[in-house]
Amino acid sequence: MALPLRSLSRGLASAAKEDHGGAGAGTWRLLTFVLALPSVALCTLNSWLHAGHHERPTFIPYHHLRIRTKPYSWGDGNHTLFHNPRVNPLPTGYERP
């Protein structure tokens, strides 16, 4: 039993002959301005309103975390490439209080 793929492909090909996008372009433009942009604005406002200084967790020296089998090839070998001393602990703990 053969599938009617020939008729399906013809229908899709004829839709491509019309102007670029047709009614679909208007729908996506409407969705962009009515749904997407306000959603991004609301998410930005939400993150800005709830942003604040959070207390960092106390350091617990788990033996399976921050394992250094060989030193890094930059700096003193103990700091990662994007190390932030305020939030990233070393194997011995945080650098700053």
| 29 touches 52 (CB < 8 A) | no
* pLDDT surpassing 70 at residue 3: no
Residue 44, both tokens: 């930005």
Check if the beta carbon of residue 89 is closer than 8 Å to that of residue 59: yes
**Percent of residues, the chain, with pLDDT higher than 70:** 77
- Tokens describing residue 58: 């106390």
3-state secondary structure of 32: helix
Residues 6+ apart with CB under 8 A from 67: 91
Q: If you count them, how many residues does the chain have?
A: 97
pLDDT, position 52:
84
Task: Tell me the one-letter amino acid at 15.
Answer: A
pLDDT at position 53:
80
**Tell me: the pLDDT tens digits for 73-87?**
998 999 999 999 988
Q: Indicate if the pLDDT at residue 25 is higher than 80.
A: yes
Looking at per-residue pLDDT, the higher value among 97 and 95 belongs to: 95
